[in-house]
Chains A and B, each alone.
Chain A
Amino acid sequence: DADVTQTPRNRITKTGKRIMLECSQTKGHDRMYWYRQDPGLGLQLIYYSFDVKDINKGEISDGYSVSRQAQAKFSLSLESAIPNQTALYFCATSALTGEQFFGPGTRLTVL
């Protein structure tokens, strides 16, 4: 089984809808991250969490919120989706400042 899983893998939604992307990990890492990737661009950090009680904004947090329900679960919400949030979203985990392990990604399309 995959160490980092994301659901859903693909989602098409309409402008103004609320969307939640979920991430689960079995690596036992305290640190979890959400990134988005647009075509031709690098990964951009949305939010990160160092433990259940520690949530921090990344470089592009506007329009997004997160919830760390447990050490193994970190979800990303778009309260009111807009078309320019169409992107590939990745969840990642790491131990301290080490290597990040990524999930398979969620392809989100906002019409």
Chain B
Amino acid sequence: KNQVEQSPQSLIILEGKNCTLQCNYTVSPFSNLRWYKQDTGRGPVSLTIMTFSENTKSNGRYTATLDADTKQSSLHITASQLSDSASYICVVSVQDSNYQLIWGAGTKLIIKP
């Protein structure tokens, strides 16, 4: 069964600190992996996308990594800001499927001043 699991479920850190969020997936065949940021009560917004051959992708203070062999991805946030408080969702796309996206439940990140 295609699944995406994220950890931790929630995380609280102080402003200015770094953190890393994890995503493990059992999706096959794999097409790509996206990280989305979802502010409370709003729709998700894409941060990064990685295909099978890419193992790192940055977007400002966000850096995503992908290990296709172990089927793991991480999202590292550097020098956190209060505006980083949100849920971060890992989404894996099934290859050759026109629509199937497997969504993780997300990690709720809270940045405290």
**Which A residues fall within an 8 A CB radius of B?**
4, 31, 33, 40-45, 48, 50, 56, 88, 90, 92, 97, 99-105, 107
| Closest chain B residue, CB of each to CB of A88 | B41
Closest to B104 in A: A42
Decide: A104 and B43 in contact? CB cutoff 8 A. Answer: yes
CA distance A104 to B40 in the complex (A): 10
A45: which B residues are within 8 A, CB to CB? 99, 101
Are A102 and B105 within 8 A (Cβ)? Answer: no
Given contact pairs A42-B89, A42-B106, A43-B103, A97 touches B43 in the complex (Cβ within 8 A): no
Q: How far is the CB of B30 from chain A (nearest CB, A)?
A: 13
Query: In the complex, what distance in Å separates the CA atom of A43 from the CA atom of B42?
Result: 12
Given A43-B103, A99-B46, A50 contacting B98 (CB threshold 8 A): yes
Interface size class of B (residues with CB under 8 A): 20 to 34
- Residue numbers of B with Cβ under 8 A of A are 4, 9, 31, 34, 41-46, 49, 89, 93, 98-99, 101, 103-106
Instruction: A44 to B35: give the CA distance in the assembly, Å.
Output: 16
Known contacts: A40-B105, A42-B103. The answer to whether A99 contacts B49 by CB under 8 A is: yes
Give the residues in chain B near A101, CB-CB below 8 Å.
Answer: 43
Query: B45 — nearest CB in chain A belongs to which residue?
Result: A102
Closest B residue to A48 using CB positions: B99
**By the criterion CB–CB under 8 Å, are B42 and A56 in contact?**
no
Interface pair A107/B41, CB less than 8 Å apart: yes
